Structure 1
Amino acid sequence: MNQLQSMRVFVKVADLGSFVGAAGALDLSTAVVTRHVADLEARLGTRLLNRTTRRLSLTESGTTYLERVRHILDDLEGVEQMVVARNHEPVGTLRIVAPVVFGLHSLAPVVQSYAARYPDVVPDVTLADRHVDLVEEGFDVGILVARHMRSASIVTRRLTTGYLTVCATPAYLAQHGTPTRPEHLLSHPCLSRPAEQGGEERVFTGPNGEVRVRPTNAIVANNTEMLRQFALLGMGVAILPSYLIGRDLASGRLVPLLRDYRLPQIEITIAYPSRLHLPAKVRTFIDHLVEYFQQPGRQARDPRTVAPARSVTESTKVVADMDDLSLPELAADAARPSHKSARSRIAASSPF
Structure 2
Amino acid sequence: MDKFTSMAVFVKAVECGSFAAAAEALSLSAPMVGKHVQQLEKALGVTLLNRSTRRHSLTEVGRNYYERCKIVLAEMEMADAIAQESRLLARGHLRISASINYGTHCLVPVLSGYRAGHPEVTLGLELSDSVVDVIAEGYDAVFRVGTLPDSGLLARPLAPYRMLACAAPSYLAAHGTPTTPKDLAQHQCLGFTHWSPREVWYFDGAAGREAVPVHGALSANVGQALRVAALSGMGIIMQPAVLVTDDVEAGRLVPVLPGYAPPTLPVHLVTAPGRLRTQKLQSFVDYVVNVLGREA
Q: TM-score, normalization: structure 1?
A: 0.72
Task: State the AA in 2 paired with 1:11.
Answer: V
Would you say 1:96 and 2:79 are equivalent positions? no
1:161 deviates by 0.4
Match of 2:211 in 1: 212
Alpha-carbon deviations, 1:135-188, whole Å to 9, x = none?
333322222111423334x33222220122222345655665543322233343
CA distance in 1, matches of 2:64, 2:179: 89
Unaligned runs of 5+ in 1: 301-352
Question: C-alpha separation between the residues in 2 aligned to 1:75 and 1:166?
Answer: 59
Matches within 5 A, 1:93-132: 93-132=93-132
**Structure 2: where are the runs of 5+ without partners?**
none
Which residue does the alignment assign to 2:82? 82
Q: How big is the shift at 1:49?
A: 4.3
| Kept after mapping to 2: 8 A contact 1:156/1:270 | yes
Query: In 1, distance between residues paired with 2:14 and 2:132?
Result: 54
1:254-297 per-position Cα deviation (integer Å, ceiling 9, x unaligned) = 333333323222111122222431233322222222222146xx
* Aligned partner letter, 2:17: G
Residue type of the alignment partner of 1:13:
A
| Separation of aligned partners in 2, 1:37 and 1:113 | 55
Distance, in Å, in 2 between the alignment partners of 1:85 and 1:38 is 35
Q: What is the identity, as a one-letter code, of the residue corresponding to 2:182?
A: E
Amino acid at match of 2:286: D
Work out the percentage of aligned pairs sharing the same amino acid. 35
- Secondary structure of the residue that 2:75 maps to in structure 1? helix
Map of 1:270 onto structure 2: 269
CA distance in 2, matches of 1:112, 1:47: 57
Alignment correspondent of 1:230: 229
Q: How does 1:295-334 map to 2 (within 5 A)?
A: 299-300=295-296
Matching residue of 2:254: 255
8 Å CA contact 2:157, 2:293 repeated in 1:
no
Flag the 1:181–1:29 CA change in 2: closer, same or farther, 3 A: same
Query: Could you tell me whether the CA contact under 8 Å between 2:156 and 2:289 is conserved in 1?
Result: no
Deviation digits for residues 200-230 of structure 1 (CA, Å, limit 9, x no counterpart): 2333232123333323425433322122223
The 3 A distance-change label for structure 1 pair 283 and 70 is: same
Partner of 1:312: none
Relative distance call for 1:173 and 1:64 in structure 2 (3 A) is closer
Distance across 1 between alignment mates of 2:83 and 2:123: 19
How many pairs were matched up? 294
- Relative distance call for 1:198 and 1:127 in structure 2 (3 A) is closer
Cα distance in 2, alignment partners of residues 79 and 194 from structure 1: 46
Letter in 2 for 1:193: F
SS of match in other structure, 1:149:
coil
1:316 alignment counterpart: none
Alpha-carbon distance, 1:10 to partner: 1.9
Distance 1:179 1:105, change over 3 A: same
Secondary structure of the structure 2 residue equivalent to 1:33: helix
Q: Distance between the aligned counterparts of 2:113 and 2:166, measured in 1?
A: 32
CA distance in 1, matches of 2:138, 2:215: 41
Name the SS of the counterpart of 2:122 in structure 1.
strand
- Report which structure shows greater RCO (CA 8 Å, sep ≥6): 1
Residues 168-177 or 82-91, more deviating: 168-177
CA contact (8 A) 2:192 2:198 kept: no
Which residue of structure 1 aligns with residue 46 of structure 2? Answer: 45
The Cα of 1:5 is off from its aligned counterpart by 1.4
Q: How far apart in 2 are the matches of 1:222 and 1:67?
A: 60
